[in-house]
C-alpha cells in the first residue's frame, strides 16, 4: 500500500484525476455546511498534501503548471469581468485604495521587523510582504453578483498597484542587500513597466478587435486568440521582471471590449473557472505546511502574532481610510477589507526570494506560512459574510435615497412595449416555430400580445443548410416549414392579426432567428421551450442560450401547460428593482390585463434582512410599478425563505398560479465552486406554465 501511495504523485494522469475528484466533490460539501467552497479547496490541499495523505505534492510539475495557469486565469477573469465604464470612473479611487492598502501594512510590517531587530532593509521587505494581496475571494463576490459595486471594482483595481509596488520593493531590497542597487536600474524598470502596460492595454485591444472582425463567428479561433493574448501578456510581464498576475490582469482589461458579453467570454470563463482556478486553490493548500505551522506557533509565537495582527490591522486601516475618503458605507468598507486580506501568491514568491537571498530568516518564512493559512481561510469566509450584506444594502438602500429618480426612468424607457420608439409604428413579434405540438399556443400568445400592442406577428421556420441548395434534407425542411407556416396563418386569422410568415435558409438556427428579428425590426422574440438534453448543449449552450447572446431585442421563452386565454393569475419573482425587472413586470401585466387576471410580485429575502429594509423595498417597488400596471390588480408578497427556488415553487403551488414569469440569468460558473442558479433550479422542479424572459447581451 505504501508503495502505491508513493508512486501516485509521480504519475501526471493520477495527479490530475485526484485534482478533478477534489474539485468535483469538496466545494459542494463545504457549501452545505455554509462555508465557501474556496475554503474547502484549501483544506483539501492540506489534507491531500505532504502533511496529510501525501497523494499530492506542491512541487509536482503537473500541479505547478495547473496552479500557474489558475493564478493567471484568476487575475485575467477579474480584469475581464470589470465594467470598463465603472473602472474608468473609479480608477483614481482604485489608485487611492492601492496606496492606502500598500502604505499602512508596509509601515506596520516595517515596525514589526525593527522591533524584532531585523535591520532596516529586511524590515522594509517584511512590510512589503504584507502590502500585497491575492484575490482569493473574487469568485465569491462574482457569484454574489456584487462585482459591479464600486468598492469591489476599486479593490480589484488596487491589486495591480499593491502587487507591482511590493515586487518593486522586493527588487530594491535584494539589490541593496547584494550591493548592486542603482537608481538607473529602478528608472529602467519603471519605464519598462509603463511601455509594457501601453502595449498590452492598447495594442491587444486594437489587434483583438481587428481579429474578431475578420473571423466573424469563428468562436474556436477567437477563443484561442484570447488565450494566446493572456499568456503572451504573462510572458511579457516575466521578461520585465514583473509578476505574471500583473500581465494577466492587464490582458483582461485589454480584451474586455473585444469579447464583450458573448459566447467566447462564456467559454473562456467556463474552462478557467471550472478547472484551472480551483487547481490554483488546491495548490495553495498544498503549500500550507501543518508541521511548520505548529513549530512556528511554538517557537516564534510573538513574531508570528505580530505579523498576522499587523496584516489584519493594516488592511483594516486602509479600508477605513477609503471609507472616509470616498464616502463608502460600512458594508463596502468591510468587503474591501476582507477582499484584500489573503496573502498567497505574491507574498509567498517575495518571501522565498528574500530567504534565498539571505535577507529573511527561516522564522520569518514560517510566520508568513501561518499568515497565508490565516488569511486564506479568513478572507473568503469574511468576504461571503460582508459581500452578502453588500448585496442586501444595494437592494434596500438605493430606492430609499431617491425614489423619484428610479420611477421616472422606468416609466420612460420601457419603449418596446409602449410604442413611442417603434420603427414603422408596429410592434413586431418574431415567433420561431419548429415543433407542431407547441405551435398553436405560441402563435396564440404572440397574437394576443400583438393585438394589445397594435402590431403583427412574424412566424418563422428555419430550414438548415450549408453549401448545397439541392440537398434532399433541405427540400424536406422547406416542405415542413410550409406546413408550419400554413397552420400559423390559420391560428393568426382567429385573432384578426396581421401575420408575415417567413421560411429562412440558414446554416445556424440561432443566428437565423436573430438575423430575421433584426431585419424585420422585431421588438420581441417569442420561442418555445428547448430542454438541455445533450452534452454539447450543457457545455456550449443550447438554442435558447445562443439566441439570448445574439439577439438585439428581448426574448421570451414559453412553456405553457394551458391555452394563453386561460391565464388568469401570474406570479413574477422580483429580486432587485431595476429597468430589466420593470420590463418583465410590464410584459406580465399585459397578459393579466387581457384576461382580466391578477399579478403577484414575490420578493424573497434573507433571514438577516430586517423588517425596515423590507418595508423600504416594498414602498420603492410599489412606486416603481405604478405607471406600468395601472389597469391590473397587483399584489406585492414578501417571503422569508432560505432557498429562493423552493420559495417560488412553494408559492406557485400553494396559491395555484396559472403562470410564472422568470427572469433569465445565464448560469455562470465563475470560480467553478457552486452552480446554484435560482432560475435553473426553479425550472427543473416547477409544474406550472413558465415564461423565461431574457434581455439581449
Burial (CB < 10 A; 0-12, 13-18, 19+), residue 286, is: buried
Residues 554 and 576 occupy one common structural domain: no
**590-604, pLDDT tens digit by residue?**
888 888 888 999 988
Is there a contact between 587 and 446 (Cβ–Cβ < 8 Å)? Answer: no
**18-42, pLDDT tens digit by residue?**
888 888 888 778 767 766 666 677 7
Q: Which residues contact 559 (CB under 8 A, 6 or more apart)?
A: 528, 529, 689, 690, 691, 692
C-alpha cell at 455: 402590431
Q: Choose the final residue of a domain: 345, 367, 400.
A: 400
pLDDT tier at 147, thresholds 50, 70, 90: confident
Q: Which residue has the higher pLDDT, 426 or 570?
A: 570
Helix, strand, or coil (residue 296)? helix
> What's phi and psi for 161, nearest 5 deg?
-70, -50
CB burial readout 537-558, b (16+ within 10 A) else e: beeebbbbbbbbbbbebbbbbb
Residues 570 and 551 occupy one common structural domain: no
Q: Say how many residues make up the chain.
A: 697
Most confident region among 21-25, 79-83, 462-466 by mean pLDDT: 21-25
Q: Choose the final residue of a domain: 513, 529, 558.
A: 558
452 domain-assigned: yes
Q: Is pLDDT above 50 for 538?
A: no
Domain containing 386 — which CATH number?
A: 1.20.1530.20
Quote the pLDDT of residue 612: 75
Residues 47 and 170 occupy one common structural domain: yes
Quote the pLDDT of residue 418: 43
State the average pLDDT for the chain.
Answer: 75
Helix, strand, or coil (residue 693)? strand
C-alpha cell at 487: 397552420
Q: Which residue has the higher pLDDT, 279 or 37?
A: 279
**181-225, pLDDT tens digit by residue?**
567 776 777 787 778 878 877 777 788 777 777 776 666 777 787
406 domain-assigned: no
Residues 500 and 380 occupy one common structural domain: no
**CA 130 – CA 114 distance, rounded (Å):** 15
Most confident region among 162-176, 230-244, 408-422 by mean pLDDT: 230-244
Most confident region among 140-144, 198-202, 428-432 by mean pLDDT: 428-432
Quote the pLDDT of residue 216: 66
Q: Can you tell me the mean pLDDT for 127-138?
A: 78
**CA 691 – CA 464 distance, rounded (Å):** 26
Residue 256's nearest CA partner among 244, 271, 269, 245 is 269
Residues 480 and 526 occupy one common structural domain: yes
Quote the pLDDT of residue 571: 92
Helix, strand, coil: what percent of the chain each, to 5? 70, 10, 25
Residue 573 belongs to domain spanning = 560-697
Residues 187 and 141 occupy one common structural domain: yes
Residues 453 and 568 occupy one common structural domain: no
DSSP secondary structure code for residue 275 in this structure: I
Percent residues over pLDDT 90 in the chain = 1
**615-633, pLDDT tens digit by residue?**
877 888 888 888 877 778 8
Alpha helices in 82-119 (DSSP H): 84-115
411 domain-assigned: no
Q: Which residue has the higher pLDDT, 316 or 28?
A: 316
Give whole-number Cα distances, 246 to 75, 204, 231, 594, in Å: 8, 15, 11, 57
Residues 206 and 87 occupy one common structural domain: yes
413 domain-assigned: no
Helix, strand, or coil (residue 459)? strand
Quote the pLDDT of residue 345: 58
**CA 484 – CA 478 distance, rounded (Å):** 10
Quote the pLDDT of residue 72: 79
**CA 442 – CA 459 distance, rounded (Å):** 10
**501-530, pLDDT tens digit by residue?**
888 888 788 888 988 888 888 888 988 875
Is there a contact between 161 and 98 (Cβ–Cβ < 8 Å)? Answer: yes
Residues 549 and 583 occupy one common structural domain: no
Q: Is pLDDT above 80 for 170?
A: no
Quote the pLDDT of residue 35: 65
pLDDT tier at 296, thresholds 50, 70, 90: low
Quote the pLDDT of residue 467: 62
Is there a contact between 612 and 572 (Cβ–Cβ < 8 Å)? Answer: no
Query: How many independent structural domains does the chain possess?
Result: 3
Domain containing 430 — which CATH number?
A: 3.40.50.620
Residues 499 and 615 occupy one common structural domain: no
Is there a contact between 697 and 265 (Cβ–Cβ < 8 Å)? Answer: no
Residues 29 and 156 occupy one common structural domain: yes
- Please, which residues bridge with residue 635 across strands? 600
**CA 645 – CA 647 distance, rounded (Å):** 5
Report the phi/psi class of residue 541: left, alpha or beta, with left for phi > 0 and alpha for psi in -120 to 50: left
Q: Choose the final residue of a domain: 494, 524, 558.
A: 558
Q: Is pLDDT above 60 for 666?
A: no
405 domain-assigned: no
Q: Which residues contact 181 (CB under 8 A, 6 or more apart)?
A: 172, 175
410 domain-assigned: no
408 domain-assigned: no
Residues 64 and 108 occupy one common structural domain: yes
> What's phi and psi for 80, nearest 5 deg?
-70, -35
**CA 287 – CA 507 distance, rounded (Å):** 51
407 domain-assigned: no
Amino acid at each position: 500500500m505504501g508503495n502505491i501511495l508513493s508512486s501516485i504523485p509521480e504519475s501526471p494522469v493520477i495527479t490530475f484525476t485526484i485534482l478533478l475528484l477534489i474539485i468535483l466533490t469538496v466545494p459542494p460539501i463545504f457549501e452545505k455546511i455554509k462555508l465557501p467552497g474556496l475554503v474547502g479547496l484549501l483544506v483539501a490541499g492540506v489534507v491531500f498534501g505532504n502533511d496529510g495523505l501525501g497523494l499530492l505534492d506542491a512541487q509536482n510539475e503537473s500541479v505547478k503548471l495547473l496552479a500557474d495557469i489558475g493564478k493567471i486565469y484568476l487575475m485575467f477573469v477579474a480584469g475581464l469581468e470589470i465594467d470598463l465604464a465603472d473602472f474608468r470612473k473609479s480608477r483614481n479611487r482604485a489608485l487611492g485604495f492601492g496606496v492606502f492598502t500598500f502604505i499602512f501594512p508596509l509601515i506596520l510590517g516595517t515596525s514589526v521587523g525593527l522591533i524584532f531587530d531585523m535591520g532596516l532593509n529586511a524590515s522594509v521587505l517584511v512590510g512589503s510582504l504584507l502590502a500585497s494581496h491575492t484575490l482569493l475571494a473574487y469568485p465569491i463576490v462574482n457569484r454574489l453578483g456584487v462585482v459591479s459595486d464600486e468598492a469591489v471594482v476599486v479593490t480589484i483595481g488596487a491589486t495591480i498597484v499593491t502587487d507591482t509596488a511590493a515586487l518593486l520593493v522586493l527588487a530594491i531590497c535584494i539589490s541593496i542587500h547584494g550591493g548592486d542597487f542603482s537608481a538607473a536600474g529602478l528608472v529602467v524598470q519603471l519605464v519598462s513597466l509603463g511601455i509594457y502596460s501601453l502595449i498590452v492595454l492598447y495594442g491587444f485591444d486594437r489587434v483583438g478587435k481587428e481579429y474578431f472582425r475578420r473571423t466573424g463567428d469563428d468562436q474556436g479561433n477567437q477563443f484561442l486568440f484570447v488565450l494566446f493574448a493572456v499568456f503572451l501578456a504573462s510572458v511579457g510581464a516575466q521578461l520585465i521582471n514583473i509578476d505574471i498576475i500583473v500581465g494577466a490582469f492587464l490582458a483582461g482589461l485589454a480584451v474586455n471590449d473585444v469579447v464583450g458579453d458573448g459566447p467566447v467570454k462564456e467559454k473562456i470563463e467556463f474552462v478557467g473557472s471550472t478547472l484551472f482556478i480551483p487547481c490554483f486553490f488546491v495548490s495553495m493548500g498544498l503549500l500550507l505546511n501543518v508541521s511548520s505551522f505548529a513549530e512556528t506557533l511554538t517557537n516564534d509565537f510573538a513574531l508570528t502574532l505580530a505579523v498576522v495582527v499587523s496584516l489584519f490591522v493594516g488592511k483594516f486601516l486602509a479600508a477605513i481610510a477609503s471609507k472616509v475618503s470616498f464616502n463608502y458605507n460600512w458594508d463596502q468598507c468591510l468587503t474591501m477589507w476582507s477582499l484584500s486580506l489573503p496573502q498567497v501568491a505574491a507574498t509567498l514568491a517575495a518571501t522565498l526570494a528574500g530567504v534565498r537571498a539571505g535577507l529573511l530568516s527561516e522564522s520569518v518564512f514560517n510566520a508568513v506560512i501561518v499568515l497565508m493559512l490565516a488569511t486564506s481561510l479568513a478572507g473568503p469566509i469574511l468576504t461571503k459574510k460582508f459581500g452578502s450584506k453588500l448585496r442586501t444594502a444595494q437592494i434596500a438602500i438605493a430606492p430609499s435615497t431617491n425614489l423619484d429618480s428610479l420611477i421616472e426612468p422606468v416609466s420612460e424607457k420601457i419603449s418596446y412595449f409602449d410604442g413611442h420608439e417603434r420603427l414603422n409604428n408596429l410592434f413586431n413579434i418574431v415567433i420561431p416555430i419548429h415543433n407542431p405540438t407547441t405551435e398553436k399556443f405560441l402563435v396564440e400568445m404572440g397574437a394576443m400580445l400583438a393585438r394589445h400592442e397594435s402590431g403583427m406577428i412574424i412566424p418563422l421556420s428555419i430550414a438548415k443548410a450549408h453549401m448545397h441548395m439541392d440537398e434532399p434534407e433541405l427540400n424536406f425542411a422547406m416542405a415542413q416549414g410550409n406546413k408550419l407556416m400554413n397552420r400559423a396563418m390559420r391560428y393568426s386569422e382567429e385573432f384578426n392579426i396581421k401575420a408575415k410568415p417567413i421560411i429562412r435558409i440558414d446554416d445556424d438556427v440561432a443566428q437565423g432567428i436573430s438575423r430575421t428579428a433584426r431585419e424585420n425590426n422585431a421588438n420581441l422574440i417569442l420561442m418555445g421551450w428547448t430542454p438541455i438534453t445533450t452534452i454539447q448543449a450543457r457545455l456550449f449552450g443550447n438554442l435558447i442560450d445562443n439566441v439570448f447572446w445574439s439577439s438585439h431585442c428581448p426574448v421570451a421563452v414559453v412553456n405553457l401547460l394551458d391555452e394563453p386565454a386561460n391565464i388568469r393569475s401570474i406570479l413574477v419573482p422580483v429580486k432587485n428593482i431595476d429597468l430589466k425587472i420593470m420590463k418583465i413586470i410590464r410584459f406580465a401585466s399585459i397578459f393579466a390585463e387581457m384576461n382580466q387576471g391578477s399579478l403577484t410580485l414575490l420578493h424573497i429575502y434573507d433571514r438577516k434582512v430586517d423588517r425596515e429594509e423590507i418595508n423600504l423595498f416594498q414602498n420603492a417597488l410599489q412606486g416603481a410599478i405604478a405607471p406600468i400596471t395601472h389597469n391590473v390588480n397587483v399584489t406585492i408578497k414578501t417571503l422569508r425563505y432560505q432557498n429562493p427556488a423552493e420559495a417560488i415553487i412553494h408559492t406557485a403551488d400553494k396559491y395555484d398560479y396559472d403562470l410564472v414569469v422568470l427572469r433569465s440569468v445565464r448560469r455562470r460558473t465563475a470560480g467553478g465552486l457552486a452552480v446554484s442558479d435560482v432560475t435553473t433550479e426553479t425550472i427543473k422542479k416547477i409544474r406550472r406554465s413558465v415564461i423565461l424572459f431574457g434581455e439581449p447581451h
